[in-house]
Amino acid sequence: MSHLTTQQPSLYNAQDVYRGAYPARTQAFAEAGQRAGLTPAHQDSEKIAVILVDYQFDFVDPQGSLYVPGSQEDMARFLAWFYANAHRITSVYASLDTHLPFQIFFSSWWQDPRTGEHPQPGTIISAEDISAMKWVPLIQPNWSMRYVHLLKQQAKKDLMIWPYHTMEGTLGHMLSTPISEAIAWHSAARKTQPTFIVKGRTIRTEYYGIFGAEVNDPQDAESGLNVSLLDAIMKHERVYVAGEAKSHCVLETERQLVTRFNQQPEMMRKLHFLRDCTSSVQHPAIDFDAIAEAELTSMESQGVRMVLSADMI
């Protein structure tokens, strides 16, 4: 295992990830990047991409509405790795989970017809619940009931009701400030533009992975698999994945990559999963982390490389 060396800007402090929300010092970090003396990314002989999945306030700050325990430590490790390897990282792809008040996985969409109550966050709605009319949709009932069945058939999942999170235009939606600053620094240092991926605005389906929704919504073209983005990322020689949460958006992003390329061993060898830069959602009745770990083990057997933040590229 190699030890990380640092080229991070002097104004970055590893404790920044624990500060809570603060205004991004974009100008200062960009200027520091310009002084870093790194070669332009287009000169890289080996193209390396980093996918950052949903490192957003609501997931990574203890005050966030869907805080993932361990995520601040994940970010601290990731940023140490990122700054140490910035001279090798060609492209940065950062996703933004983006939601609206009425979506199929929020309580406002469903109701118990007997009591009039809405499901609480963490509630699982199964196809059996739909058939028994335990929960009924208040919006687009025909699609909603069909969706829960399709979700079970196609994605092997039941519908989860989530707390309101990463609502578009709110504090919870923004990238964690130290991540934003690191991206600004890297862009200036390597003279390369980051790619921001907005996902999750499709109201009739869940959208965990960055490349497409859980179930394709025929009324929303954006819900389909983003093949052009998949292929653009996989033109790099190596692809590293980190972010939140391991059990959901990160795992589904990795699953989408593996599903598309698992018949091409040379493509699978490109995929690197930063195991200690992501954590799982905690649920009182479901061990999401165990589910994620079992699938990651399967992915490793298919060629995905499991690495740690202490490992240099």
In this structure, are 111 and 238 located in the same domain? no
Tens of pLDDT, residues 241-282: 999 999 999 999 999 999 999 999 999 999 999 999 999 999
If one counts the domains in the chain, the total is 2
Q: Tell me what the pLDDT averaged over the chain comes to.
A: 96
| pTM of the predicted protein model | 0.95
Q: Hey, what are 9's tokens?
A: 């800007």
Range(s) of the domain holding residue 228: 47-100+172-307
**Residue 7, pLDDT score:** 79
Cα-based distances in Å from 294 to 9, 277, 291, 309: 38, 17, 5, 21
For residue 21, give Cα distances in angstroms to 43, 180, 217: 35, 12, 35
Asked if residue 229 has pLDDT above 50, the reply is yes
pLDDT of residue 3: 47
Write the pLDDT tens digit of every residue in 8-65: 899 999 999 999 999 999 999 999 999 999 999 999 999 999 999 999 999 999 999 9
Residue 188 lies in a domain: yes
User: Does the residue 269 lie in any domain?
Assistant: yes
**Given a cut of 60, is residue 302 above it in pLDDT?**
yes
User: What's residue 4's pLDDT?
Assistant: 53
> Is the pLDDT at 6 greater than 60, yes or no?
no
Give the pLDDT score at 2: 44
Please indicate, yes or no, whether residues 96 and 187 belong to a single structural domain of this protein: yes
Evaluate whether residue 82 is within a structural domain.
yes
CATH number at residue 248: 3.40.50.850
Assess if residue 129 is contained within a domain: yes
Do residues 246 and 113 both lie within one domain?
A: no
Residues 145 and 292 grouped into a single domain? no
Q: Is 10 inside a domain boundary?
A: no
Above pLDDT 90, what percent of the chain? 95
Together in a domain, 85 and 176: yes
Q: What is the mean pLDDT of residues 217-225?
A: 94
For the segment 156-163, the average pLDDT, to the nearest whole number, is 95
78 CB-side CA count, 13 A:
32
